[in-house]
Amino acid sequence: MISRLFTVLGAAAAMFGMAGAEEARHAKIKTSMGDIVIELYRDEAPASVENFLTYATSGHYDRTLIHRVVTGYVIQGGGYSRLYTERATRDAVRYEGENGLRNERGTIAMARGDDPESAQAQWFINLADNPKLDHRVTELGPIYGYAVFGRVVKGQDVVDAIGAVETGAAGPFDAEVPLQQIFIERVDPVEWPPAN
């Protein structure tokens, strides 16, 4: 009976989370080093925002690692557990790198592999202006970038502190991993600024 009650409560909480996410324009990334509030660019990157919030409200990001830090470049997370096990993901989100948003300091973008249509759960926050990560078109055709879908509006000091930690090899990675694990405790849609 008690386990059934928890199941019902859990389902209700999940439904509430999704309802709150439907029109959310901000999200809070709660990390073990402090909170980061992100403004979400629903108009410019609707698929990426929906994808991010779906992972967030499903609990996918709970107790995952910031698993990559490149000083002066990016911090990256959203994919690995404390044991460096990669969490299962949904289908890839469509590429939105051509939305006109630039990979500037404080922006959040979808991480991906070589295929521009391969972004799933992982994301990164730019520690500096990174124009080489932007979508652009040349005489030879398009150069695919990384889809920006939001910007830090509170907690840039937390982002910078994470970006300054000591890194090395850990888990399956040869470098760029924080030597002291940094956790994403959870990610939630929030009202911002908070109502008084």
Show the tokens assigned to 84. Answer: 């460096």
The Cα–Cα gap between 187 and 103 comes to: 21
Amino acid (1-letter code) at residue 64: T
User: Is the pLDDT at 4 greater than 90, yes or no?
Assistant: no
CATH superfamily ID and name for 2-189: Cyclophilin-like (2.40.100.10)
Q: Which residue has the tokens 């995952």?
A: 64
Amino acid (1-letter code) at residue 185: E
Question: Tell me, what's the pLDDT at 5?
Answer: 35
pTM for this prediction:
0.89
List pLDDT tens digits, range 50-96.
Answer: 999 999 999 999 999 999 999 999 999 999 999 999 999 999 999 99
The rounded percent of the chain whose pLDDT value lies above 70 is: 89
Q: Domain map of the chain by residue range? A: 2-189
Question: Tell me, what's the pLDDT at 52?
Answer: 98
DSSP code string of 93-127? PPP-TTSS----TTEEEE---SSTT---S-EEEES
Asked if 165 and 182 touch (Cβ cutoff 8 Å), the reply is yes
